[in-house]
Amino acid sequence: MLKKQRVEFILNKLGELYPAPPIPLKHKDPYTLLVAVLLSAQCTDERVNQVTPALFDIADNPFDMAGVPVETIYQIIRPCGLAPKKSTAISTLSKILVDQYQGAVPEDMAALEQLPGVGHKTASVVMSQAFGQPAFAVDTHIHRLAQRWGLSSGKSVVQTEKDLKRLFPEESWNALHLQIIYYGREFCSARGCDGRVCEICTTCYPKRKKPFITSKA
């Protein structure tokens, strides 16, 4: 199967399986999504969703969060891992939002990436899911599937993002990010599929005989 055919099949298959993929992180606005995505680094969405209700009960906006002691934030988000850095980042970025953006999350990729604890992936998720701007957030899981499906041979998530953006139409990016995540969790997980098990892998590479070894991002 040619790459163009793989792209078309994958796009159609994921569209059939997940026609309206929901955002897995519970939130109510751009600020709570920003905090939730920040917390999700090296942590499962399920764990984040267990932690954020207590955090947002005491502060669900940057004005209130800026007044919460870092230690209080830390005690709530400890189960997420990397809590010392994340608690400081949440406190500091909240103060920056109040001081520089009147409490609003900026609808600008560069401005988001300047916030403490906010990398390119987090900024991409916020731009796409909070503001509806075309962005393609690539994490290690999407990186793995892109390699299994022959969509990218990039050795970093940065290169994989460029490859996927070039292959798929811009209007599909926001949903496709979520669709790949859901498919990976359900059918093509790191241990559940070795490139020869799930429908997309077997359809794209029906003659693959050996487990496909992906390069880590």
Mean pLDDT, rounded, of the chain: 96
Give the per-residue pLDDT at 215: 80
For the question of whether the overall pTM of this predicted structure is more than 0.85, the answer is yes
Alpha helices in 18-139 (DSSP H): 30-39, 45-58, 62-65, 70-77, 83-101, 109-113, 120-125
- Give catalytic status of residue 139 as yes or no: yes
Domain span at 172: 3-21+136-204
Give the type of residue at 175: A
Q: What is the pLDDT of residues 171-187, one digit of tens each?
A: 999 999 999 999 999 99
Of the chain, the percentage scoring pLDDT greater than 90 comes to 94
Q: What is the pLDDT of residues 48-78, one digit of tens each?
A: 999 999 999 999 999 999 999 999 999 999 9
| Ramachandran assignment for 25, one of left (phi > 0), alpha (psi -120 to 50 degrees), beta (any other) | beta
- Give catalytic status of residue 85 as yes or no: no
Active-site residue (options: 99, 108, 121, 216):
121
Q: Is the pLDDT assigned to residue 216 strictly greater than 80?
A: no
**In a domain? residue 77:** yes
Active-site residue (options: 13, 139, 207, 210):
139
Query: Which tokens go with 122?
Result: 């987090």
**In a domain? residue 164:** yes
Q: Which of 113, 130, 147 is the last residue of a domain?
A: 130
**In a domain? residue 115:** yes
Neighbour-count burial for 132-152, b at 16+ CB within 10 Å, e otherwise? eeebbbbbebbbbbbbbbbbb
Task: State residue 41 phi and psi, 5-degree precision.
Answer: -60, 125
